[in-house]
Structure 1
Amino acid sequence: MMKRRSFMLGAATLPLMMSGAIAQGRDDLVLAFIPQENPEKLIGDIAIISEWLSDEIGIPVRGFVTSDHAAAVEALRNGDADISFMGALPYVLANEHVGAQIILQEVYRGEPSYTSRIFVRRDRGIKELADLKGKTIAFADPISESGYLYPLDEFAAAGLLERGADPSTFFDRLLFAGGYQQAIQAVASGLVDAAGASQYSELLLSPEQQQEVIWISETPSLPSHGVIARDGLDADLRERFVNAMLKLNDPDHQELLQHVYSPDGYIIADPGAYEPVRDLARAYGLLG
């Protein structure tokens, strides 16, 4: 059986996870990052951004890569993380179940929104969603909006699946790769016939691989990934963190954005933008 693990880094190396009881008495700030990219790359990124944030905020900042999206929500619930970088679906689940609040949104190409796509290899002869009947598909994570929920709903919108129905009635095999990069790499490598992932996932491929992969369906716009604070986080500390993160929009600090998933910048979050995601989660039985 494969064991889940989380990698802790920052101003100092921490144990793999801390209990919630210990977390409540900390004098530091702990960040959780979902593994939408290769976790080994994220480890180096987290070390750099944590050190910079420590200097800006004035207390030690540490971060870890969660095993998956669900673990990021659980870290906020337990107090093992104070702040989590996560997608829209994990956020609405964290908000619903543990009272977590969205404080910042990523901006890409001038907008705090993006889409998801169904990617295939050019040489597979797959032109439309119906061609994937009986084929294999990779998604990023079962509680990812752009890496599962929204691209899966494309098949419902096309009349190929009913919302909430077992996807195995359409696909021969469905797997969760663990992140955007892993899912789209599975297509580029020919391990699966298709993948559902963020529109920007292609950028995680080599130039040669990008020539081999195309997309055949695109979802409606959905709100960008956010930065989420656990319920009860000290208001002053939360404000200092937000102010520090907004400094990344300044030209002098923009090079640091590559160490937080490479957005163009951050804005103060609009919680109302996430209501369509909440509605779709209810339609699929993920929320009551």
Structure 2
Amino acid sequence: MNKKLLITVLLIITALLAACAGGNDDNNAKADDVIKMVWYPNESGEDMKASRDEIGRMISEATGKEVEHQLTTDYAIAIETLANNNADLAFTGAQAYIEANKRNDAVQTIAVKSGESGRLEDAKYYSWLAVNVDEQDKFKENGDFSLDTIASTKFSFVSNSSTSGFKIPSSTIIEHFSQHEEYADLTQEDLMQSGPLFSQVLFGNSHQGSAVNLLSGNADVAAFCDTCVDDYVELVEGEENTAGAVYRVKDDAVEPFNTVAGKEFILMESTPVLNEPFAVNMESLGQEDFDKVQEVLTSDEFANNEKIFAPEDSEQTALFTKEGNERLIAVEDEWYDPVREMSN
């Protein structure tokens, strides 16, 4: 009798679990009607709202689904959200994409911004190491900038998940200092904390934040990229994206640069980096929507939309600047192998 009772109870539990599972399927079906797009802190500000909304509108029209924007204040949150199947689409850095893909191979590339040529050959931006103009002599030896001078300084990175704001500069710094016996065993983890190289390490949590750390005097040296601060600064001396180039914060710069308007910085180092990808979670998005989203992202209509690709002489802020034939191009995971190899 007890055995029969036990079997009856098990059958009831099984039925209840099946019902719950059915309810979850219904919830998932509703979730599938929404495409969730997560944004880095760099693109989560009010100045990028027009671009975000326009991208959402175009994807919504292409898929027939609502697009929900998830704004973040932390790189790690954006990566976690995509890798954990809580977002369908993201605009990430190369290093962050690689981290997310390593944790969940359902995360794949869908498109990347081309270079000015409209092709992948020049699809790159620049990782900068910068110092304040009036302090530049502290970072020179025999008239030239030297990485030796950044030891014991206050240094600002963007995030340890940032390609141009951490991965590239930290690799450059380690390669240089590893030639010195004192720093022969220097690691990336060492660069995330005070000592043994830096007196203090800050993280701006966005490229804009790292630049402001420098210009406000909180940091002596800062790493950030050219494209993320392009709308806030102007070249006043030298050749752009080269050591010795001087940039000035525009007088009418919006937050967070409004507090450092008119301040100038000079580049110590400038290193080319593969452009950032749009990435998707195939498990949550699905192949059908992937194809529709990729088609719209790589379309002429998308490339010619001035709310997304602002003309070079435009005063409006947009996700991208169009100086030539820039557009989004479909890209495979393997294109990011050069960055992936730096992580091995």
TM-score (norm 2): 0.69
- CA shift for structure 1 position 275: 1.3
Instruction: Classify the secondary structure of the residue corresponding to 2:68.
Output: strand
Corresponding residue for residue 331 of structure 2? 269
Q: How do 1:114-263 and structure 2 match up within 5 A?
A: 114-124=125-135, 125=137, 126-127=139-140, 128-159=146-177, 161=183, 162-164=186-188, 166-167=190-191, 168-207=195-234, 208-209=248-249, 212-219=264-271, 221-232=272-283, 233-247=285-299, 252-258=304-310, 261-262=319-320
- CA shift for structure 1 position 24: 6.4
Query: Which amino acid is the alignment partner of residue 143 of structure 1?
Result: S
Instruction: Classify the secondary structure of the residue corresponding to 2:41.
Output: coil
Q: Distance in 1 between matches of 2:305 and 2:44?
A: 24
- CA shift for structure 1 position 92: 0.7
Q: Is the 8 A contact 1:181 1:204 kept in 2?
A: no
Instruction: Classify the secondary structure of the residue corresponding to 1:48.
Output: helix
Greater Cα offset, 115-124 or 126-135: 126-135
- CA shift for structure 1 position 274: 1.2
User: Number of residue pairs matched?
Assistant: 263
Q: Distance in 2 between matches of 1:250 and 1:40?
A: 21
TM-score (norm 1): 0.81
Cα 1:279–1:184 shift into 2, 3 Å: same
Tell me how large the CA RMSD over aligned residues is. 2.7
Instruction: Classify the secondary structure of the residue corresponding to 2:76.
Output: helix
- CA shift for structure 1 position 149: 1.1
- CA shift for structure 1 position 22: 5.2
Q: Distance in 2 between matches of 1:73 and 1:24?
A: 24
The gaps in structure 2 that reach 5 residues or longer are 1-23, 141-145, 235-247, 251-262, 311-316
Q: Distance in 2 between matches of 1:246 and 1:67?
A: 28
Q: How do 1:18-33 and structure 2 match up within 5 A?
A: 25-26=30-31, 27-33=33-39
Q: Is the 8 A contact 1:249 1:266 kept in 2?
A: no
Q: Distance in 1 between matches of 2:220 and 2:154?
A: 5
Q: Distance in 2 between matches of 1:104 and 1:204?
A: 23
Q: How do 1:36-185 and structure 2 match up within 5 A?
A: 36-37=42-43, 39-99=45-105, 100-110=107-117, 111-124=122-135, 125=137, 126-127=139-140, 128-159=146-177, 161=183, 162-164=186-188, 166-167=190-191, 168-185=195-212
Larger radius of gyration: 2
Q: Is the 8 A contact 1:76 1:98 kept in 2?
A: no
Q: Is the 8 A contact 2:309 2:318 kept in 1?
A: yes
Q: Is the 8 A contact 1:140 1:148 kept in 2?
A: yes
Greater Cα offset, 156-165 or 74-83: 156-165
Q: Is the 8 A contact 2:113 2:277 kept in 1?
A: yes
- CA shift for structure 1 position 85: 0.8
Residue-by-residue CA offset, 1:116-139 (whole Å, 9 max, x unaligned): 120111111223222111111111
Corresponding residue for residue 8 of structure 1? none
Greater Cα offset, 240-249 or 41-50: 41-50
- CA shift for structure 1 position 254: 4.2
Query: Which amino acid is the alignment partner of residue 87 of structure 1?
Result: G
Q: Distance in 2 between matches of 1:23 and 1:175?
A: 40
Identity across matched positions, percent = 21
Instruction: Classify the secondary structure of the residue corresponding to 1:170.
Output: coil
Q: Distance in 2 between matches of 1:180 and 1:32?
A: 17
Residue-by-residue CA offset, 1:231-258 (whole Å, 9 max, x unaligned): 3221111111111111256664244235
Greater Cα offset, 263-272 or 231-240: 263-272
- CA shift for structure 1 position 35: 1.2
Q: Distance in 2 between matches of 1:48 and 1:188?
A: 32
Q: Is the 8 A contact 2:282 2:290 kept in 1?
A: no
Cα 1:249–1:272 shift into 2, 3 Å: farther
Residue-by-residue CA offset, 1:164-197 (whole Å, 9 max, x unaligned): 4512211111111111111112222322111111
Q: Is the 8 A contact 1:120 1:194 kept in 2?
A: yes
Corresponding residue for residue 237 of structure 2? none
Q: Is the 8 A contact 2:44 2:72 kept in 1?
A: no
Query: Which amino acid is the alignment partner of residue 35 of structure 1?
Result: P
